[in-house]
Amino acid sequence: MHQASWEPRSMQTAQIAGNEDRSSTVAEDFSGIKIPDSKIAREATELVRQHATEMLFNHSVRVFVFGAMKGVRQNLKFDSELLYVAALFHDLGLVEAYHTDTKRFEVDGADAAREFLRSHGIPEPKADLVWEAIALHTTPGIPQYMRPEIALTNAGVLVDVVGIGYDEYTPEQRDQVISAFPRGDNFKSDFIQVQTCSALKKPLTTFGTVNFDYIQEHDPTFHRPNACTRIRNAPWHS
């Protein structure tokens, strides 16, 4: 069981820049949740804002807010700064600057976050915790049993992308988050498109993951290796 209670870090009014013609000041709190405003949090925001689209950036901040809201609701003890960095970086592996040819996009984002935290002198156990939260954020059935930062990153992703846990938030909470960090008119199709583009670049990394669904949706004739076939073809005699 996770220890109860929430331990906020330095969380002040956050200045979050939008596109060239858009900027917003997020001074409100979201049911007691504020955007972390530490030096690391601000620099993480700037880095992700530099490379991610507005769609991915807003999604990532919503993941933090929804995850933190759930943590407070469940009276969990979690590090809001680490949760914020995990949420910000969780989809960074989808952007060209952090894409690799051989790793799952989740690992690309996790590697980027860990390197960022190491460069800011964050102890290795904390950097590794953020790595795990990002690397596991699309893995079903496991993150919810792990440390709060991992579980809450996953929970934020699930509610924002596929609506799991949607009714655990009040309409007022949902509206406030969406007003501050809009989904836009085409979030669902835009999100599927960016995931599909990533998956098609390195299909071998999608086998055994939900990421294969993006390839199958794009090309129903594409066949992934079958687990039973791979077992039968293993070089053992029995």
Mean pLDDT by 10 residues, the chain (238 residues): 39 42 54 94 98 98 98 97 98 97 97 98 98 97 97 98 98 97 96 95 89 89 84 93
Q: How far apart are CA 2 and CA 231, in angstroms?
A: 38
Terminal CA-CA length for the chain: 41
Q: What is the structure's pLDDT at 187?
A: 97
Burial (CB count <10 Å: 0-12, 13-18, 19+), residue 57: buried
Q: How far apart are CA 213 and CA 209, in angstroms?
A: 8
Q: What is the structure's pLDDT at 20?
A: 40
Q: What is the structure's pLDDT at 16?
A: 55
Q: What is the structure's pLDDT at 8?
A: 39
Give the tokens for residue 102: 């051989």
pTM of the shown model: 0.87
Q: How far apart are CA 150 and CA 68, in angstroms?
A: 11
Q: What is the structure's pLDDT at 21?
A: 40
Structural domains in the chain, sorted by start: 14-185 (1.10.3210)
Give the tokens for residue 144: 């919810």
Helix H or strand E segment including 190: helix 187-201
Identity (one letter) of the amino acid at 78? F
